[in-house]
């Protein structure tokens, strides 16, 4: 009888320890740039209870470096060794609410993305400790031996170390500078440009900490204190905020807050540009996801809505605890996330209801422009399902001027007005308004040009029973005249003197 019994499963074990140099070189390519790398290191400073973080960047010396200094709790040598270990934390471990880390990779991966030499000096209870990873040394030794430096006093920037705190020093900035021996000036310029972008990013990502609404943090770049950029413009008097919506998921709570930014006419140009960011308001609308008050996602709808000109004032702040990292798929850089199904379902309803607020902010202004009771210069006309703008030939200033012309010239005058309407550069206007609408402004006008319009409208309004004391308010209700308020008041005073 044939024996059909299967052979016993055999298991063998072999040493598959990663090659040190290969693995650590791989950690350089997690997708960091300078701003996300600096933010990851600053996370550690906040977790350590720092009240300030100082970024010291030197791009012009023969050995350029970046140092990140904080006055946090510092570390013992044992804690420092653990902090320098790759994968020093399990992402599934329960964390303190103030812990902004996740994988125990941030310090190393963020640093290696920008430099080949990472040195950390720390002090706790008046005892200083120092450790270093040098990737060039890795290539020679191919092992996991960490350098410990017993007397770090001679290390550059040691003098920056506070009584308690930590300094992270990046040297051999190959990724940030490139080969400086080939084009030193270009490399220095590249690093300085990267620092400018990083500054704006850090002001945005840590704005809640810099505002002092959470544990107060001061952030400096080369001794200059950085001010926060609040993407919600939450302190602006014209910002609209909807009631907060809490979503309970198991033992965690997701907080959803909807903001409608003020129209750009109610903000200074500096405020508007700063909140819009480098890509402008059209790209920066959408969800802003905060993990323990640290900004993770900065704009975009994550598939919940389309980015349109009429919704560009919409901002939705979503606050999540660090206990939900796995559900949100927070990445190593803490720069991307995915919506869990339950959150997506709730957020979709919130967003659909909310985006109408931003649309009304713009359509309301559009309605004012075509209000027939305010003598518009342009009429908005629906024709065969299309929208046409035509000069309003019945406008008092046009009628007044036409009446002064000889009869044989009046038709020619009206023909000129019609040609102006037909020649309106629709495609050019659409391109400008879609790309950067706040930069499209009315041309300046002089008192002499305004005078016929103010006089004609004042006479017409008086004929309709508007008293002199009400003329200024009636005229300034017209957007064009309101934008030239000082000149209109001067011309109207002249009108009153001539018509006593």
Q: pTM for this one? A: 0.71
Claim to verify: residue 161 and residue 247 sit in the same structural domain:
no
CATH at 103:
3.30.565.10
Claim to verify: residue 379 and residue 357 sit in the same structural domain:
no
Among candidate residues 366, 399, 428, the one where a domain is terminated: 366
> Residue 230 falls within a domain, yes or no?
no
Among candidate residues 366, 385, 405, the one where a domain is terminated: 366
Query: 57: which strand partners?
Result: 66
CATH at 310:
3.30.230
Claim to verify: residue 53 and residue 175 sit in the same structural domain:
yes
- What pLDDT is stored for residue 149 in this prediction? 93
Domain with 177, as residue range(s), is 20-225
Claim to verify: residue 48 and residue 170 sit in the same structural domain:
yes
Please, what is the end-to-end C-alpha distance for the chain in angstroms? Answer: 129
Report d(CA 56, CA 60) in Å as an integer.
Answer: 12
- What pLDDT is stored for residue 63 in this prediction? 87
> Residue 1 falls within a domain, yes or no?
no
> Residue 81 falls within a domain, yes or no?
yes
Element at 66 (helix H, strand E): strand 65-70
pLDDT in tens, the chain (500 residues): 556 777 778 888 887 777 766 777 777 887 889 999 999 999 999 999 999 999 999 988 888 999 999 999 999 999 999 999 876 554 455 555 555 554 456 788 899 999 999 999 999 999 999 999 998 887 777 777 889 999 888 888 899 999 999 999 999 998 887 655 567 788 888 899 999 999 999 999 999 999 976 668 999 999 999 999 999 999 999 999 988 989 888 788 999 999 999 988 788 889 999 999 888 888 899 999 999 999 999 999 988 988 888 888 899 999 999 888 888 888 777 777 888 888 898 888 888 888 765 555 555 444 433 344 457 788 888 777 778 888 888 888 788 888 888 888 888 888 898 888 888 888 888 777 766 676 777 777 888 888 888 888 888 888 877 888 778 877 777 777 777 888 888 888 888 888 87
Claim to verify: residue 254 and residue 311 sit in the same structural domain:
yes
3-state SS, one letter per residue, for 230-263? CCCCCCCCCCEECCCEEEEECCEEEEEEEEECCC
CA nearest to 289, candidates 277, 301, 281: 301
Claim to verify: residue 338 and residue 386 sit in the same structural domain:
no
Claim to verify: residue 284 and residue 350 sit in the same structural domain:
yes
- What pLDDT is stored for residue 286 in this prediction? 93
> Residue 118 falls within a domain, yes or no?
yes
> Residue 276 falls within a domain, yes or no?
yes
Claim to verify: residue 249 and residue 215 sit in the same structural domain:
no
> Residue 28 falls within a domain, yes or no?
yes
Give the 3-state secondary structure of residue 373: helix
> Residue 217 falls within a domain, yes or no?
yes
Claim to verify: residue 199 and residue 215 sit in the same structural domain:
yes
Claim to verify: residue 304 and residue 405 sit in the same structural domain:
no
Claim to verify: residue 345 and residue 404 sit in the same structural domain:
no
> Residue 260 falls within a domain, yes or no?
yes
Among candidate residues 346, 366, 386, the one where a domain is terminated: 366
Backbone dihedral angles phi then psi of residue 98, each to the nearest 5 degrees: -85, -5
Tell me the pairing of strands 286-291 and 314-320.
parallel
Claim to verify: residue 209 and residue 258 sit in the same structural domain:
no
Provide the number of structural domains found in the chain: 3
């Amino acid at each position: 009888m044939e024996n059909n019994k299967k052979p016993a499963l055999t298991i063998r074990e072999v040493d598959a320890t990663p090659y040190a140099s290969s693995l650590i070189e791989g950690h350089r390519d997690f997708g960091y740039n300078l701003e996300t790398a600096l933010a990851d290191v600053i996370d550690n400073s906040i977790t350590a209870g720092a009240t300030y973080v100082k970024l010291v960047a030197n791009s012009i010396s023969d050995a350029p470096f970046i140092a990140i200094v904080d006055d946090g709790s510092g570390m013992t040598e044992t804690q420092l060794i653990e902090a320098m270990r790759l994968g020093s934390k399990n992402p599934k471990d329960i964390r303190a609410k103030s812990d902004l880390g996740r994988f125990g990779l941030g310090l190393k991966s963020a640093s290696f993305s920008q430099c080949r030499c990472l040195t950390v000096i720390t002090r706790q209870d008046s005892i200083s400790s120092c450790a270093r990873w040098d990737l060039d040394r890795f290539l020679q030794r191919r092992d996991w031996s960490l350098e410990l430096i017993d007397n770090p006093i001679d290390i550059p920037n040691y003098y920056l170390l506070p009584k308690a705190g930590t300094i992270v020093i990046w040297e051999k900035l190959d990724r940030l500078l490139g080969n400086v021996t080939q084009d030193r000036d270009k490399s220095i310029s590249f690093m300085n440009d990267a620092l400018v972008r990083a500054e704006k990013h850090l002001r945005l990502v840590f704005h809640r900490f810099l505002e002092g609404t959470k544990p107060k943090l001061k952030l400096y770049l080369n001794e200059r204190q950085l001010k926060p950029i609040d993407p919600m413009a939450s302190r602006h008097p014209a910002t609209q905020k909807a009631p907060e919506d809490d979503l309970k998921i198991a033992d965690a709570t997701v907080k959803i807050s909807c903001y409608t930014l003020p129209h750009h006419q109610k903000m200074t140009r500096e405020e508007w540009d700063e909140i819009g960011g480098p890509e402008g308001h059209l790209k920066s609308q959408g969800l802003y996801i905060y993990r323990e008050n640290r900004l993770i996602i900065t704009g975009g709808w994550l598939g919940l809505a389309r980015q349109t000109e009429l919704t560009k004032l919409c901002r939705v702040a979503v606050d999540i605890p660090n206990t939900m990292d796995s559900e949100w798929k927070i990445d190593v850089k803490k720069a991307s996330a995915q919506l869990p199904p339950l959150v997506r379902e709730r957020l979709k309803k919130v967003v659909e209801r909310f985006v109408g607020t931003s649309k009304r902010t713009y359509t309301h202004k559009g309605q004012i422009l075509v209000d027939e009771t305010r003598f518009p210069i342009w009429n908005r006309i629906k024709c065969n399902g299309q929208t046409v703008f035509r000069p309003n030939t019945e406008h008092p200033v046009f009628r007044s001027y036409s009446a002064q012309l000889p009869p044989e010239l009046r038709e020619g005058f009206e023909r000129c007005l019609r040609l102006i309407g037909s020649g309106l550069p629709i495609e050019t206007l659409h391109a400008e308004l879609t790309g950067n609408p706040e930069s499209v402004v009315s041309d300046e006008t002089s008192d002499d040009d305004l005078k016929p319009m103010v006089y004609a409208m004042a006479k017409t309004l008086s004929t309709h029973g508007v008293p002199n004391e009400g003329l200024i308010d009636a005229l300034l209700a017209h957007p064009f005249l309101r934008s030239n308020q000082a000149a209109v008041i001067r011309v109207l005073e002249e009108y009153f003197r001539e018509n006593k």
